[in-house]
């Protein structure tokens, strides 16, 4: 048996060359685009997109072996801007001497927008070749400018036959099996392959765990009937489609004020291994998009839940997420903030050159004051706190962007605005001038 701290079987069995890689023939077969590139010693910036255990990290290791370049490996969940900048700085120096740099980022979807922005210009000017690996749909998780400069390589789940081939190779070659001389029935390998749902890492590590458990019991033969007692269970399958279907159902349940359904879908995601930070982010968005000023405290609750996830982690943070989900589901709903932002964006697109009224400009210099900057501005606090005067550019004074709804706490906001401005066009929500 192997001592604690040894590499898992899945790591020890990584393919050493292209011919040892099992599966993904559409990109690594004889005419596959990745195979052709690697055999010529070249590679392009790309995103390896596929389910867990399909070979993303193994492909990255093959790129390291086949391409003459300095290779750096980072993790989107462990590393941030500081480490990225360090690699980019090194790459810029190497570029002066004609040396290429490959930057592999596992779980690239975990990088935030600012971190992804750091990569953009260096991918564009060829300072680095970026290889990203992700289980999440790149269209949603990778910023558009960076995605447009990378080729998306979609990988497929491995078949049961692929997994069976990988496990048989491990039994033949790995020291654990050679030294122990444990006899494994073919049906055991077939069962593990079937239950692993295309995940080679899971299949190999499950096999290793079962064999070591068998040896610890003093047994030399592993039979199918022993498997239920020895093997860890993989209860739920969580594909990319499951991810987006469940996330959609979760958000729609919150929006539809159904706390039971929201909790059900949230727990299904968590039990399937979903990142709790993803769930927290979705609730933060919903708090402003679908609840908004009908209950402004909803945003506070959602942000607090996200902070709790960072401080507590799984499994305990599930309780924080559940509290937030119940609160958001039962809160009054209003999308007036979302609608106001949409109208504002549309109006800005049409009126980008509209001048700021002179009375709103700050007369920083004497010349500016002589030009009329600040003239006519009335400080509201000098006249009771409010001046009934539009602050919009000329010609846009009558346009309504924010139209409060008579829902929850937003009712008081609507009443307050009517007291200040009187009823204006669009107050009923039936017409909203677009300018």
Which pLDDT does position 80 carry in this prediction? Answer: 85
Q: For residues 212 and 251, state if they share a domain.
A: no
Q: For residues 29 and 150, state if they share a domain.
A: yes
Mean local confidence (pLDDT), 287-298: 95
Domain boundary among 280, 297, 330: 330
Residue 40 domain flag: yes
> Are 202 and 53 in contact, with CB atoms under 8 Å apart?
yes
Q: For residues 274 and 314, state if they share a domain.
A: yes
Domain boundary among 230, 250, 275: 230
pLDDT surpassing 80 at residue 131 = yes
Cα–Cα distance between 91 and 401 in angstroms, integer?
48
pLDDT tier at 429, thresholds 50, 70, 90: very low
Q: Which phi and psi (to 5°) does residue 345 adopt?
A: -65, -40
Which pLDDT does position 63 carry in this prediction? Answer: 93
pLDDT surpassing 80 at residue 344 = yes
Percentage of residues of the chain with pLDDT beyond 70:
92
Cα–Cα distance between 239 and 137 in angstroms, integer?
11
Q: Is 278 exposed, middle or buried (0-12, 13-18, 19+ CB in 10 A)?
A: middle
pLDDT surpassing 90 at residue 335 = yes
Mean local confidence (pLDDT), 240-261: 87
- Of 13-17, 84-88, 271-275, give the range with the top mean pLDDT: 84-88
Domain boundary among 300, 330, 360: 330
Helix (H) or strand (E) run with residue 311 in it: helix 297-312
Which pLDDT does position 229 carry in this prediction? Answer: 61
Q: For residues 146 and 185, state if they share a domain.
A: no
Among the ranges given (161-165, 188-192, 215-219, 319-323), the one the predictor scored with the smallest mean pLDDT = 215-219
- Residues linked to residue 46 through DSSP beta bridges, in sequence order: 131, 151
Q: For residues 190 and 294, state if they share a domain.
A: no
Q: What's 170's domain CATH number?
A: 1.10.8.60
Residue 167 domain flag: yes
Q: What's 107's domain CATH number?
A: 3.40.50.300
Mean local confidence (pLDDT), 335-346: 93
pLDDT tier at 192, thresholds 50, 70, 90: confident
Q: For residues 263 and 370, state if they share a domain.
A: no
Residue 308 domain flag: yes
pLDDT tier at 4, thresholds 50, 70, 90: very low
Q: What angle do CA 367, 369, 370 make, to 5 degrees?
A: 65
pLDDT tier at 240, thresholds 50, 70, 90: low
Residue 200 lies in domain:
160-230
Which pLDDT does position 288 carry in this prediction? Answer: 95
Q: Is pLDDT larger for residue 425 or for residue 216?
A: 216
Q: For residues 56 and 169, state if they share a domain.
A: no
Q: For residues 171 and 279, state if they share a domain.
A: no
Q: For residues 150 and 164, state if they share a domain.
A: no
* Mean pLDDT for the chain overall: 87
Residue 344 domain flag: no
Q: Is pLDDT larger for residue 273 or for residue 229?
A: 273
pLDDT tier at 236, thresholds 50, 70, 90: very low
Among the ranges given (50-54, 101-105, 226-230, 431-435), the one the predictor scored with the smallest mean pLDDT = 431-435
**Cβ-based neighbours of 139, under 8 Å, separated by 6 or more:** 147
Q: What's 368's domain CATH number?
A: 1.10.3710
pLDDT tier at 433, thresholds 50, 70, 90: very low
Residue 73 domain flag: yes
Cα–Cα distance between 74 and 81 in angstroms, integer?
11
Q: Give helix 259-271 / helix 240-255 axis angle, nearest 10°.
A: 160
pLDDT tier at 230, thresholds 50, 70, 90: low
Considering Cα of 215, then 203, then 22, then 67, what sign does the dihedral take?
negative
> Are 267 and 279 in contact, with CB atoms under 8 Å apart?
no
Query: Model pTM?
Result: 0.53
Q: Which phi and psi (to 5°) does residue 366 adopt?
A: -65, -40
Residue 102 domain flag: yes
Q: Is pLDDT larger for residue 219 or for residue 96?
A: 96
Residue 337 domain flag: no
Residue 58 domain flag: yes
Q: What's 294's domain CATH number?
A: 1.20.272.10
Q: For residues 280 and 316, state if they share a domain.
A: yes
Q: Give helix 317-330 / helix 240-255 axis angle, nearest 10°.
A: 50
Q: Is pLDDT larger for residue 242 or for residue 156?
A: 156
Which pLDDT does position 29 carry in this prediction? Answer: 85
Q: Which phi and psi (to 5°) does residue 331 adopt?
A: -75, 150
Which pLDDT does position 231 carry in this prediction? Answer: 52
pLDDT surpassing 80 at residue 124 = yes
Among the ranges given (10-14, 280-284, 372-376), the one the predictor scored with the smallest mean pLDDT = 10-14
pLDDT surpassing 50 at residue 431 = no
Which pLDDT does position 430 carry in this prediction? Answer: 39
Which pLDDT does position 425 carry in this prediction? Answer: 63
Percentage of residues of the chain with pLDDT beyond 90:
51
Q: For residues 201 and 219, state if they share a domain.
A: yes
| pLDDT one-digit tens code per residue, 21-31 | 998 889 988 88
Q: For residues 194 and 139, state if they share a domain.
A: no
Cα–Cα distance between 71 and 82 in angstroms, integer?
18
* Number of separate domains in the chain: 4
């Amino acid at each position: 048996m192997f001592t604690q701290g040894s590499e898992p079987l899945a790591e020890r069995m990584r393919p050493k060359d292209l011919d040892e890689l099992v599966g993904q023939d559409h990109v690594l077969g004889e005419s596959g685009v990745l195979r052709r590139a690697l055999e010529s010693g070249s590679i392009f910036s790309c995103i390896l997109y596929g389910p867990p255990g399909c070979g993303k990290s193994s492909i990255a290791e093959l790129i390291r072996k086949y391409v003459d370049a300095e290779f750096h490996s980072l993790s989107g969940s462990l590393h941030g801007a500081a480490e990225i900048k360090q690699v980019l700085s090194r790459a810029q120096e190497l570029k002066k001497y004609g040396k290429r740099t490959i930057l592999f980022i596992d779980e690239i979807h975990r990088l935030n927008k600012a971190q992804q922005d750091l990569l953009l210009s260096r991918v564009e000017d060829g300072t680095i070749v970026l290889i990203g690996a992700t289980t999440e749909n790149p269209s949603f998780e990778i910023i558009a400018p960076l995605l447009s400069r990378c080729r998306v390589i979609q990988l497929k789940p491995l078949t049961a036959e692929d997994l069976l081939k990988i496990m048989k190779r491990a039994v033949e070659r790995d020291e654990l099996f050679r030294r122990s001389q444990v006899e494994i029935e073919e049906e055991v390998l077939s069962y593990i392959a079937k239950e692993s749902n295309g995940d080679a890492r899971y299949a190999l590590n499950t096999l290793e765990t079962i064999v070591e458990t068998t040896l610890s019991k003093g047994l030399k033969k592993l039979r199918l009937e022993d498997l239920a007692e020895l093997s860890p269970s993989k209860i739920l399958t969580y594909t990319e489609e499951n991810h987006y279907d469940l996330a959609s159902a979760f958000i729609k349940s919150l929006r539809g004020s159904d706390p039971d359904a929201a909790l059900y879908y949230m727990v299904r995601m968590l039990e399937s291994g979903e990142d709790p930070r993803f769930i927290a982010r979705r609730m933060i968005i919903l708090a402003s998009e679908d609840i908004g000023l009908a209950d402004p405290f909803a945003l506070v609750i959602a942000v607090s839940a996200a902070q709790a996830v960072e401080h507590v982690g799984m499994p305990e943070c599930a309780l924080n997420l559940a509290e937030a989900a119940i609160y958001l589901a039962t809160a009054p709903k209003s999308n007036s903030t979302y609608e106001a932002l949409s109208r504002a964006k549309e109006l800005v697109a049409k009126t980008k050159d509209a001048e700021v009224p002179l009375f709103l400009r700050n007369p920083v210099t004497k010349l500016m004051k002589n030009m009329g900057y600040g003239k006519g501005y009335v400080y509201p606090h000098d006249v009771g706190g409010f001046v009934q005067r539009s602050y919009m550019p000329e010609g846009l004074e009558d346009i309504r962007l924010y139209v409060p709804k008579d829902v929850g706490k937003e009712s008081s906001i609507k009443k307050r605005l009517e007291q200040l401005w009187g009823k204006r066009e669009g107050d009923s929500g039936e017409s909203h001038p677009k300018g």
